[in-house]
Structure 1
Amino acid sequence: MPGENLLSDFQQLLGPDALAWSKRLSVLEQMKIVGQWKGGDKDPGELVEANGGPTSDTGARGWGSAQ
């Protein structure tokens, strides 16, 4: 299931600096980054819902077009 290993995916994405970065980013921001990195055609809001998280789309709306 997408996002199950979110932290390890995030660490692979950013390398040794992942821990420092992860402390600065919210979970939603990390999910957006990992979702995009995995070729995410998924909306970050869908990713959050798929993992049983909050369904709030705060900050997620319009993210796909901001590349």
Structure 2
Amino acid sequence: MADNKDQTSQQDRIRVDSNDPSEVEYLHKQYPDMSHQQIVDAIRIAGPIRADIIAWLDKHQ
């Protein structure tokens, strides 16, 4: 979620921004059976923490 994609911190790596198409696309590649909208919904439901989102997606896949 860094403003400058070249300067990311650990905090940026553990969070996912649902408004960033590249981050949604990255998750979509990991879960190709889910639509982009389902990925965005999962981020909104599970929160911005990547581990929570992945756990939610694994549970609802």
TM-score after normalising by structure 2? 0.31
TM-score, scaled to structure 1 = 0.29
